[in-house]
Structure 1
Amino acid sequence: MSTVRMTAGWSIEPATTAELADVAAVLEDAAAWLNERGVRQWPTRFPERLLLPAIESGETWLVRAGVDVVATVTVDHADAAWDDLPTDAAYVHRMAVRHHGQQLGTWMLDWVTKVAIDEGRRAVRLDCVATNEDLCRYYERQGFRRMGNVTAGGMPGERLASKATQTVVRRYERVL
């Protein structure tokens, strides 16, 4: 997944460690936008320990409109919230956009789907905080099928082995 893809005026490329602040800024902007609407999907701050491993492994991507960073997404091939199902899927994490209403989220989900197909995956999977009904409806409109709720370790946006703090997430799958 290291090639840059361009379409609709947007380009997507792997984030580098030098772009950690850009990734965090997009996520924190999205968290603030959600919090203003009373939605607790993510923490207000994204510490380096949550973001750096996925950037270093080439799983985090930045979307640009020209030189401006407008979105980010992390795509990997495993997620503990899905351990009860086969792992032959691409998993979407920390997808966030700065410009709402421009179909950028749809474009990103379609890009992930194309990458998953190219890799021979059988599905694209994602989840969100179960109480975020607007986001749940959005994923359903994008062709994702509801796969039930599970409890994930950590605060919203985290995946921790410890279950000291827990978040109920709703899982979604797009079969390819």
Structure 2
Amino acid sequence: MNNTLSKWGIEQAGHQDGESILTLLKERASYLKSKGSEQWSFLLTGNEDDELLELITKGLFYKMTIKDDHDLVATFMLSSVQEDWDVHLWGESIEVDTVYLHKLAVALKYKGNGIGDILLNWIIQHAIELGNRRIRLDCVAGSMKLRRLYEENGFKLIEVVHDHCLYELELR
């Protein structure tokens, strides 16, 4: 599979993308659960659907598609404002030059094609273009594959809080 960005399109998702993004996130949550992980299992209850749809409508989610057929390949959320979860893990911050990355998910049929690396490279460049100085994210401490992905893309482990690894990447 060609992994150059010319094959893919990355753009802000809109309201019309809500259901397909929810489906992708739930597909990944179900897959993780089948592998023994509780990461994102809360998504399977449907209790978060309205909140996620609102975040998508606000323009905080992005989507990666194949340019030729618009098939949804991946999604992620970027926010320059701390969500409740960020405050819970990081503490309240007044920094205005930090973006928080959440819900990075690749559709199962594209798993193993280097999409995570492509997305992180694009996210880093996009955050720089937006004038941010750092990107923060978290992941379940036991998710070694995900931790390796972030570390291989330059993110530094800051600390482990409530069984979640807090990662940060300084952009300049």
Q: What residue in structure 1 maps to residue 53 of structure 2? A: 52
Indicate whether 1:139 and 2:147 are aligned. no
Q: What residue in structure 1 maps to residue 164 of structure 2? A: 169
Map residues 139-158 of structure 1 onto 2, 5 A cutoff.
139-151=150-162
1:61 alignment partner, SS class: strand
Q: Contact between 2:116 and 2:149, CA under 8 Å: does it hold in 1? A: no
Unpaired runs of 5+ residues, structure 1, are: 1-5, 152-167
Q: What residue in structure 2 maps to residue 19 of structure 1? A: 17
Map residues 66-145 of structure 1 onto 2, 5 A cutoff.
66-79=69-82, 80=87, 81-83=89-91, 86-98=95-107, 99-145=110-156
For 1:8 and 1:104, the matched residues in 2 are separated by: 13
Q: What residue in structure 2 maps to residue 32 of structure 1? A: 30
1:121 alignment partner, SS class: coil
For 2:96 and 2:151, the matched residues in 1 are separated by: 21
TM-score normalized by structure 2?
Answer: 0.81
For 2:118 and 2:91, the matched residues in 1 are separated by: 28
2:81 alignment partner, SS class: coil
TM-score normalized by structure 1?
Answer: 0.80
1:143 alignment partner, SS class: coil
For 2:146 and 2:36, the matched residues in 1 are separated by: 13
Query: Of Structure 1 and Structure 2, which has the larger fraction of its residues in strand?
Result: 1
For 1:146 and 1:102, the matched residues in 2 are separated by: 25
Q: Deviations over 1:37-72 (max 9, x none)?
A: 222211252532231221121111111113211111
For 1:175 and 1:118, the matched residues in 2 are separated by: 14
Moved more, 82-91 or 57-66: 82-91
- Overall identity of the aligned pairs, in %: 31
Shift of 1:142: 1.7
For 2:54 and 2:161, the matched residues in 1 are separated by: 24
1:78 alignment partner, SS class: coil
Query: Of Structure 1 and Structure 2, which has the larger fraction of its residues in helix?
Result: 2
1:34 alignment partner, SS class: helix
CA RMSD of the aligned region, Å? Answer: 1.9
For 2:149 and 2:35, the matched residues in 1 are separated by: 16
